[in-house]
Amino acid sequence: MEGIRKEQKSINEGQRQVRKRMEAIGEECQQLSIETNKVIRQTAVTQIRLAIMFNILKARQDGDIAKASHLTHLLRETMGRA
Protein backbone atom coordinates (compact mmCIF):
# COMPACT_ATOMS: atom_id res chain seq x y z
CA MET A 1 0.00 0.00 0.00
CA GLU A 2 2.69 2.45 1.03
CA GLY A 3 4.60 1.77 -2.16
CA ILE A 4 1.54 2.53 -4.28
CA ARG A 5 0.99 5.84 -2.44
CA LYS A 6 4.58 6.88 -3.02
CA GLU A 7 4.29 5.93 -6.66
CA GLN A 8 1.06 7.95 -7.02
CA LYS A 9 2.69 10.98 -5.37
CA SER A 10 5.63 10.62 -7.70
CA ILE A 11 3.32 10.42 -10.71
CA ASN A 12 1.33 13.45 -9.53
CA GLU A 13 4.52 15.45 -9.04
CA GLY A 14 5.72 14.44 -12.49
CA GLN A 15 2.41 15.53 -13.99
CA ARG A 16 2.66 18.90 -12.20
CA GLN A 17 6.15 19.42 -13.55
CA VAL A 18 5.06 18.50 -17.08
CA ARG A 19 2.08 20.88 -16.84
CA LYS A 20 4.34 23.68 -15.60
CA ARG A 21 6.83 23.07 -18.41
CA MET A 22 4.03 23.00 -21.01
CA GLU A 23 2.75 26.35 -19.74
CA ALA A 24 6.26 27.80 -19.99
CA ILE A 25 6.61 26.47 -23.54
CA GLY A 26 3.23 27.96 -24.47
CA GLU A 27 4.26 31.37 -23.12
CA GLU A 28 7.58 31.18 -24.96
CA CYS A 29 5.79 30.24 -28.17
CA GLN A 30 3.45 33.20 -27.77
CA GLN A 31 6.40 35.56 -27.21
CA LEU A 32 8.21 34.20 -30.27
CA SER A 33 5.08 34.72 -32.34
CA ILE A 34 4.86 38.35 -31.20
CA GLU A 35 8.54 38.93 -32.00
CA THR A 36 8.18 37.26 -35.41
CA ASN A 37 5.25 39.50 -36.30
CA LYS A 38 7.26 42.54 -35.23
CA VAL A 39 10.17 41.53 -37.48
CA ILE A 40 7.77 40.94 -40.38
CA ARG A 41 6.28 44.44 -39.94
CA GLN A 42 9.74 46.03 -39.71
CA THR A 43 10.84 44.20 -42.85
CA ALA A 44 7.77 45.40 -44.75
CA VAL A 45 8.38 49.00 -43.68
CA THR A 46 12.03 48.72 -44.72
CA GLN A 47 11.02 47.40 -48.15
CA ILE A 48 8.59 50.29 -48.59
CA ARG A 49 11.28 52.81 -47.64
CA LEU A 50 13.75 51.26 -50.07
CA ALA A 51 11.15 51.40 -52.85
CA ILE A 52 10.52 55.09 -52.11
CA MET A 53 14.27 55.79 -52.13
CA PHE A 54 14.63 54.02 -55.46
CA ASN A 55 11.76 56.04 -56.90
CA ILE A 56 13.33 59.28 -55.60
CA LEU A 57 16.55 58.44 -57.42
CA LYS A 58 14.64 57.53 -60.57
CA ALA A 59 12.62 60.78 -60.44
CA ARG A 60 15.81 62.82 -60.00
CA GLN A 61 17.44 60.96 -62.86
CA ASP A 62 14.41 61.72 -65.05
CA GLY A 63 14.49 65.35 -63.95
CA ASP A 64 11.05 65.16 -62.31
CA ILE A 65 11.81 67.45 -59.37
CA ALA A 66 8.17 67.66 -58.22
CA LYS A 67 7.87 63.88 -57.97
CA ALA A 68 11.25 63.61 -56.24
CA SER A 69 10.19 66.29 -53.76
CA HIS A 70 6.87 64.56 -53.08
CA LEU A 71 8.57 61.19 -52.56
CA THR A 72 11.20 62.75 -50.30
CA HIS A 73 8.42 64.22 -48.17
CA LEU A 74 6.71 60.82 -48.09
CA LEU A 75 9.97 59.15 -47.04
CA ARG A 76 10.41 61.65 -44.21
CA GLU A 77 6.88 60.87 -43.01
CA THR A 78 7.62 57.14 -42.96
CA MET A 79 10.86 57.79 -41.06
CA GLY A 80 8.95 59.80 -38.46
CA ARG A 81 6.72 56.82 -37.68
CA ALA A 82 9.63 54.53 -36.85
Tens of pLDDT, residue by residue over 2-56, are 888 889 999 999 999 999 999 999 999 999 999 999 999 999 999 999 999 999 9
State how far the Cα of 19 lies from the Cα of 2, in Å rounded to an integer.
26
Provide the number of structural domains found in the chain. 1
Range of the domain at 54: 2-80
Please give the torsion angle defined by the CA atoms of residues 60, 66, 69 and 71, in that order, rounded to the nearest 10 degrees.
-80
pTM above 0.75, yes or no: no
pLDDT recorded at residue 2: 83
pLDDT recorded at residue 82: 58
Q: What is the CA radius of gyration of the chain?
A: 28
Q: Is the pLDDT of residue 81 over 80?
A: no
